[in-house]
Amino acid sequence: MRIGCHGYPDARTNMKASKLSKAQRAKREQEEEERKLREEEEARIRAEREEQERVERERKQKEVERLELKDLERREAELKELHHLLEENHTAVTKWKTEAVEIAKWERYMRCDGAPDPAVQKEMNTYMSLWRDDPEVNITLVLQQCNLALQLVDELEDLLKDITDPQERQKYQEVLINLQELIHSKHHLATEEILKSASENVSTETGNMQTVIKDDNITLCLWANLNKIPRFKSVSFSEAGLSFELPKQLAVSDIAVRILHTRYDHPSSLARMTHLRTHTPSNRVHPAMQSTQRMHISQSEASLWSRRNSPEPEEIQVSHVQTQMEALDVRDPTSPPEEHTVINPVAQVVDLMEYTPLGGVFYYDAFHLPPQIQYAHGWKFVQVLRTGMQVFSYQAEKSGLDGHEALPCPLVGVSVTLPESVVFLEAPQVARWDAAGKQWRMDGITDVSYDESEGKISFKMDSFQAFALMQKTYANLPFQSWELRPLGQDSALYTVNGAFMNISITIQDNKCMLQSEQEGGLSHLIGKWMSGSDLQRAMVDAGVNIFVNEYTHKYVSSTAKDPLTEHAAYEQMALFSSACAFSWSKWNAKCGAEHLVMQVCEHHDPSPVPKDSWSLYLLGAQRSRKLAITETSEAFSPDHYPGSEFHSTFIHLLQDTMSPDGIAQTRNSHHLFVDTVQSLLCATRPLMYS
């Protein structure tokens, strides 16, 4: 600022500053005016947009109300038609199964082979008593007898699945356990007979006896220590894929070592019966998934509970009306499942819900070598022991004597080539059988070494014990995706993409055939037709389990869904599986527990479904709708597809866009095909475990 001669500001400077201030004020006023205009314009646009949205909401609400009213008018007719279709199929399937049971009974009667009827306890007790007293110990004949007994074991296990009375169940369980123990005792007696003549079958290379005996159900590996060489370390049964290491203390002892590999698993059966307070076989279908088609007009408590705790989205809320699940009266699956004993993880006891033994059981035993046959003056002398063959007691750590410290002994080692009939999706776990506790345990197993390239596992234990190879039961779950598509009339392909491997099952009438890109371990199953229940058991035994039960959710992450709505979906998918393809949708995990979302399209060609043919459908307990969104949309929305309608049942919704030929094809579906598809869907529950 300029200063005048008397020390005051220059007047010209003040005038210039005043002019600048006025210009700035004018500019500010103009900017303020422009801001107000912009705000007014934005408010106007916002108000117009809000008004448009309000009008659109009202239009949608009126449209939804119109569609809901239209659905209510035809609800009773649609539910009756669905009930009629389900009841018709259920009656036909029940009749067929009853006739099949009668035919099986007649065929058993006509065989006249002397085999007892497992359902008749008196016959079973007589059979076991006579066999127990049978002095036959020839290994060939004993194995033939055991094979017949194993067939009876399978029949008893199937029989137990359908017995609900606790006392009756206990009686059959006792018969089953006694028969399993008798089979094992016969193996024991045949083993003793072979070892009595061990000196007559000496190997020229080692001076010891070594033999392998096989049939369809067992592999018996026997070794008798006749030479007693201190530096002898290991024995290999190459044809059986088994070998064991012999501690130095045993190399100079009169012992025999047996590895009996049974391709069946009786200890696990005993463990389940012992530790499940109410025995529930793992391959039974979830109770919620068992079909019951009876018309029942009263409201189901399960559906009411579901709606109170999980309300529908605002756009889908309506007054309570009878749902398709209530009309079909499906039993409440939310009731407590049969309880099983909680396993203490510290004790490393195997939970047979979490783990499944694969490839059978390996009985690894050491026995005192029985007295050998002696020859003198043309006579053959055999010393008979009243006690029979005695187990050789060996512990890696023996108790000290006279107050001295315990004396450590080497562990016993064994190597196993993984059985060819199973698939291990992960490195197998080893468990030993605790006979006292009647359970499998994972402690006491050390120095485990797994060679994946050779398919061989080696480990050590502190004593000779039975062991098994374990895999997590649900290793292949949850599913990454799934698809059910028709291949023609009464034919479909069900594909599940699991966590480790993909599985495809072809369904034709009431038969199923497994398909997989991985043939190793599955060659005995792939390409072979069998019933759905037989295939399920065979797949579980082979290590490719995709089936679930009422305990699966404790071990596998899942998408929570109302079991009643889920069951209704599987029933109706099965009805239309001859003409419609169904597939996984990512939106199923976003739509809430009370709803299901899947991709569907009509499909008549055996070739894969084109990607642009799919449409999304939302299923609920009260009604179903076709969705406006697609699988590639950015967010989930329950808005219905423009021009589509609501329906109380899934099948009537699908019929709106199906061709007359497609509808006719669904009506011509055979009841056994529909039942097989439904059973497969209920056993895998893809809408929950994917």
The two three-digit tokens of residue 126, written as one number? 């007589």
Query: What pLDDT was estimated at residue 341?
Result: 47
Task: Match 């797949």 to its residue by tokens.
Answer: 539
**What is residue 125's predicted lDDT score, i.e. its pLDDT?**
95
Q: Residue 410: is its pLDDT beyond 90? A: no
Q: Where are the alpha helices (DSSP H) in 134-265?
A: 139-161, 166-196, 248-251
Q: What is the mean pLDDT of the chain?
A: 85
Helices (H), 324-436: 324-328
Predicted confidence at residue 227, as pLDDT, reads 87
For residue 125, the SS3 value is helix
Cα–Cα distance measured from residue 387 to residue 641, given in angstroms and rounded to the nearest whole number: 81
678: nearest Cα among 594, 554, 562, 578: 578
pLDDT given at position 18: 55
pLDDT exceeds 70 at position 151: yes
3-state helix, strand, coil in the chain (%, to 5): 40, 20, 40
pLDDT for the residue numbered 16 = 53
| % pLDDT > 70, the chain | 85
Judged against a pLDDT cut of 90, whether residue 652 lies above it is answered with yes
- Note whether 190 and 137 are within 8 A (CB): yes
Radius of gyration of the chain measured on its C-alpha atoms:
36
| Cα gap 466→367, rounded to integer Å | 14
pLDDT of res. 74: 92
Q: Does 276 have pLDDT greater than 90?
A: no
Which pLDDT tens digit goes with each residue over 290-347? Answer: 443 333 333 333 333 333 334 344 444 433 344 554 444 444 444 444 444 444 444 5
- Which tens digit of pLDDT belongs to each residue from 480-519? 999 999 999 999 999 999 999 999 999 999 999 999 887 7
pLDDT more than 90, % of the chain: 64
Q: Which pLDDT belongs to residue 286?
A: 42
Q: Assign 550 to helix, strand or coil.
A: coil
The reported pLDDT for the residue numbered 311 is 38
CA distances from 140 to 152, 184, 195, 213, 214 (A): 19, 15, 15, 9, 10
pLDDT band at 400 (very low <50, low <70, confident <90, very high): very low
CA distance linking residue 10 with residue 18, whole number of Å: 13
Mean pLDDT of 183-202: 93
Residue 679 has pLDDT above 80, yes or no: yes
Q: How far apart are CA 574 and CA 642, in angstroms?
A: 27
* 287 against 620, higher pLDDT: 620
Cα separation, 378 vs 310, whole angstroms:
89
- List 647's β-bridge partners, or say none: 624
The pLDDT assigned to 278 comes to 39
Of 496, 486, 494, the residue nearest 512 (C-alpha): 494
* Per-residue pLDDT, 575: 97
Structure tokens at 664: 């006719």
pTM as predicted: 0.82
The amino acid at residue 493 is: L
Q: Give the confidence band of 287 by pLDDT, cuts at 50, 70, 90.
A: very low
Please tell me the predicted confidence (pLDDT) of residue 47: 85
Nearest partner of 579 among 486, 652, 644, judged by Cα: 486
Which residue has better confidence, 657 or 50?
657
Give residue 336's pLDDT.
44
Per-residue pLDDT at 402 exceeds 50: no
Mean pLDDT, residues 523-537 taken together: 94
- Give me the torsion for CA of 338, 341, 345, 350, rounded to 10°: -90
Question: Which residues, other chains included, contact 419 with Cβ-Cβ below 8 Å and sequence gap of 6+?
Answer: 263, 358, 359, 360
Element (H, E) at 588: none
Q: For 222-255, what is each residue's pLDDT tens digit?
A: 999 998 888 888 899 999 999 999 888 888 899 9
The pLDDT assigned to 303 comes to 38
Q: What is the pLDDT of residues 430-457, one digit of tens each?
A: 999 999 999 999 999 999 999 999 999 9
pLDDT of residue 12: 55
Least confident piece of the model among 270-279, 352-361, 441-450: 270-279
Lowest mean pLDDT among 65-74, 556-565, 649-658: 65-74
Least confident range from 17-31, 79-93, 354-368, 396-410: namely 396-410
